Amino acid sequence: MDKEKWEPKIAAFVCNWCTYTGADLAGTSRIKYPSNTKLIRVMCSGSVDPVFILKAFERGADGVLVSGCHPNDCHYNAGNFHARRRWDFFHKLLDFIGIEKERLQFSWISASEGKKFADVISKITKDIKSLGPFKAYKQMNSEFTVNFPEYNESSNSINKELQ
């Protein structure tokens, strides 16, 4: 792949109450940030299951961002506290398994921090760009499509629908 032309794909799981609204603010304030990140809105950072992240990697994401309300600001009082403890372990586990730490990042962005949202997106895009494509997982994907062509066709049709 031509490194010049390659653009990373980043999936961002953002909480409805803070980060998603913060992203909205970044947009309405016309702050520029890289367009590599696809936002996926969830109700709380505590509701992001680790399999969402693994699925994102499986489907070709080069990096994943999980973002929610600042501690003490959670719409559901304690969702992000639970998430914080859980992500600490998940991050360490992925590191031990051999997935670069920068591939999975976390942040707290409140609804009023449009500028911070743009900064975080710029930072993660820069980090992933310097790491390059997530070849290790992508290789497993290509092997998978050779062995299971039917599965690939069905998932392709889903992808087309999404596009």
Partner 1 sequence: MEVLRKYASELLEKKAVAAVIGYVRVSDKRTRPAIITNPEDTSSLVFDNYCLNNLSVYLTKARIKALCRTSDKPMKLAITAKPCDVHSIVALIQENQIHRDDIHIISFNCGGVVKDFGLEFSKETLASKCIHCESQKPVYFDKLFGEEKKIPAAEDKQLQKINEIDSMSTEERFEFFKKEFDKCIKCYACRAVCPLCYCQRCITDKTIPCWIESSSHQRGNFSWNIVRAFHLSARCTGCGECERACPMDIPLGLINRTMAIEAKKSFSFVSGRSLEIPTLVGSFDVKDSDELFM
Q: Which stretch binds partner 1 (CB under 8 A): 4-12, 15-23, 27-35, 132-140?
A: 132-140
Residues 24-53 touching partner 1, rule: CB under 8 A, are 49-51
Strand partners, 41: 14
Q: How far is CA 14 from CA 3, 97, 137, in A?
A: 29, 25, 23
Instruction: CB nearer to partner 1: give 4 or 98.
Output: 98
20 binds partner 1 (CB under 8 A): no
72 binds partner 1 (CB under 8 A): yes
CA-nearest of 10, 13, 60, 71 to 41 is 13
Q: Which stretch binds partner 1 (CB under 8 A): 7-15, 16-24, 34-42, 84-92?
A: 84-92
Q: How many Å apart are CA 9 and CA 13, to the nearest integer? A: 13
**Going by DSSP bridges, is the β-strand pair 37-42/10-15 parallel, antiparallel, or unpaired?**
parallel
Structure tokens at 89: 């372990």
DSSP 45-62: GGG--HHHHHHHHHTT-S
Q: How many Å apart are CA 144 and CA 37, to the nearest integer? A: 25
128 binds partner 1 (CB under 8 A): no
* Binds partner 1 (CB under 8 A): choice among 29, 38, 93, 126: 93
**In the complex, what is the shortest distance from the CB of residue 27 to partner 1, in angstroms, rounded to a whole number?**
20
127 binds partner 1 (CB under 8 A): no
Q: Which chain residues interact with partner 1 by CB under 8 A? A: 49-51, 54-55, 58, 71-72, 78, 81-82, 84-100, 105-108, 120, 123, 136-137, 140-141, 143-144, 147-148, 151
